[in-house]
Structure 1
Amino acid sequence: MMIGTIHNRDKFLNQIANRLDRPRSTSPVEKPVWKFQPQYEVLKDASQDELVEVLKEQCKKIHTNFFTTDSKELSDVLGGVVANYGGGPIVTWKDERFTKWGLDSLMKKEWPNQNIEVFQWDHTVEDQNICKAEKANIGITISEITLAESGTVVLFSDENRGRTVSFLPVTSIMLIPKSTLVPRMTQAAKKMREIHQKTGHVASCINFITGPSNSADIELNLVVGVHGPVKASYIVINDL
């Protein structure tokens, strides 16, 4: 990963301080402690099972199909969802978790034997990835953090996990490890900070996606599927 170099930072900050007619602050900014913090109260005592139920109900509101399974049954469930959407072409991330969850046989044998084209993201072929994604019927990705309250998945992109897999195909299937469920944005932000502190890495692109594409900005009329994906399914995998 390339890390940028900051040039003329002190000169720039000193100039701002001079324009504001005050000394430049050099000590760290202390995080304020608020008397009331309602953002931490919503669903704060909910168990993972309860968060699954909250997510399930929210999916009804965001026009998203919802499924639950474990890794043993995931191949059958995913195969059924793909069949209901009309099969391929399919584009996926290159992610070792597909192997961990027992999906290699489905992706590399069963689907090809059914004449369902499966393309795995490959950063070495560059623009070919985009061509495959825009022609795909289904894109399959994995949520890193999942907001139960809003039904939002959080996707981390990198060289093996192209961002276009989630929005260029007609349909999006998002695999959600049960362990990734958090109540809402407050806890998602905290978890992202913890991931950064642990790994020292920030994804090249972080997308918050709530079901299929929609627009309600014209006379408050909701239109689902105004741009890809027009359909979406969440599959929660019990990994706890």
Structure 2
Amino acid sequence: MMSGTIQNRDAFLNKIASRLGRNRFLTTVERPEWSYHPQDTVLKDADADELLEALKTQCTTIHTDLIETNKAGLIDTLRKIVSEYGGGSIVAWKDTRFEQYGLSPLFDTIWPSENIDVHQWNPEAGEENIQLAEKANIGITISDITLAESGTAVQFSNKNRGRTVSFLPLKSIIIIPKSSIVPRMTQAAKIIRERVKNGEHLASCINFITGPSNSADIEMNLVVGVHGPVKAAYIVIKDL
């Protein structure tokens, strides 16, 4: 991976220091070593099944439907949820994992034969992708990391995974491999940090999505669907 260069950094930092009326600090700050790490204790000893149970419990709090299935039953499960959510137009990522999960027939033949419009993100289409996402009834994406404690799906965008697929359609369906479930934000941050250390190219945008959009800004009254999907479903694939 090619690393970027920072131009005029010293001149910029020197100017800031002079405006503050002090010399620029040239020494680096040592990372502190803490003796106690409470963030590591939450769900510390939970196995995969216990993490899934924690996720299911949290989904009842964040107004999110959670459906369990396996790879063999994924097509039928996804068709059922799409039908329950009103069918209509669908926008989805152009993600190779859909093929790995056996969903290609659904996107290529089954839904088109049922007169359901399906658009998979096309980087060459530019703004048209966003326009279609705005009009779509359902957006379908995949979680890269899933936080059991908060019920959060972590998604890495790229040219084939438009970030607007998650929040512009009226409803959101997120496919969650069971293997992607970790205890909480602590583990997600560690995974991301390790990828950076390994020189991996990370997404320019990493979304942390916790169920449908909601707000309690006005007199602490919760309103769901204020600035994004009004309904959300997580489909957990137990054998992935």
> SS where residue 109 of structure 1 aligns?
helix
Query: Aligned partners of 1:82, 1:195: CA distance in 2, in Å?
Result: 34
Q: Deviation per CA, 1:40-67, whole angstroms, max 9, x where unpaired? A: 1111111111110000000000000001
Contact 2:141 2:175 in 1 (8 A): yes
Q: Aligned runs of 1:46-195 on 2, under 5 Å?
A: 46-195=46-195
Q: Aligned runs of 1:17-28 on 2, under 5 Å?
A: 19=20, 21-22=22-23, 24-27=25-28
Contact 1:14 1:24 in 2 (8 A): no
Q: Partner of 2:12 in structure 1?
A: 12
Query: Aligned partners of 2:147, 2:198: CA distance in 1, in Å?
Result: 21
**Paired AA for residue 36 in structure 1:** Y
> SS where residue 105 of structure 1 aligns?
helix
Contact 1:148 1:182 in 2 (8 A): yes
Query: Aligned partners of 2:108, 2:190: CA distance in 1, in Å?
Result: 37
Q: Normalised by the size of structure 2, how large is the TM-score?
A: 0.93
Q: Shift of residue 234 of structure 1?
A: 0.3
Query: Does the C-alpha gap of structure 1 residues 209 and 13 become closer, same or farther in structure 2, counting only changes over 3 Å?
Result: same
Contact 1:13 1:24 in 2 (8 A): no
> SS where residue 72 of structure 1 aligns?
coil
**Paired AA for residue 44 in structure 2:** K
Extract unaligned runs of 5+ from structure 1: none
Q: Partner of 1:36 in structure 2?
A: 36
| 1:217 is the counterpart of 2:217 | yes
Q: Deviation per CA, 1:119-165, whole angstroms, max 9, x where unpaired? A: 00001011110111011000000111111000011111111000110
Query: Aligned partners of 1:132, 1:142: CA distance in 2, in Å?
Result: 19
Q: Shift of residue 204 of structure 1?
A: 1.5
Q: Shift of residue 4 of structure 1?
A: 5.2
Query: Aligned partners of 1:10, 1:113: CA distance in 2, in Å?
Result: 61
Contact 1:75 1:103 in 2 (8 A): yes
> SS where residue 176 of structure 1 aligns?
strand
Q: Shift of residue 102 of structure 1?
A: 0.4
Q: Shift of residue 23 of structure 1?
A: 5.8
Q: Shift of residue 20 of structure 1?
A: 6.3
Query: Does the C-alpha gap of structure 1 residues 20 and 177 become closer, same or farther in structure 2, counting only changes over 3 Å?
Result: farther
Contact 2:13 2:24 in 1 (8 A): no
Q: Deviation per CA, 1:8-56, whole angstroms, max 9, x where unpaired? A: 21223344556464562344x3221112221111111111111100000
Q: Normalised by the size of structure 1, how large is the TM-score?
A: 0.93
Q: Partner of 2:205 in structure 1?
A: 205
Task: Report how many aligned residue pairs link the two structures.
Answer: 239
Query: Aligned partners of 2:198, 2:223: CA distance in 1, in Å?
Result: 40
Q: Larger deviation: 12-21 or 180-189? A: 12-21
**Paired AA for residue 79 in structure 2:** G
Query: Does the C-alpha gap of structure 1 residues 32 and 239 become closer, same or farther in structure 2, counting only changes over 3 Å?
Result: farther
Q: Deviation per CA, 1:100-130, whole angstroms, max 9, x where unpaired? A: 0000111111111111111000010111101
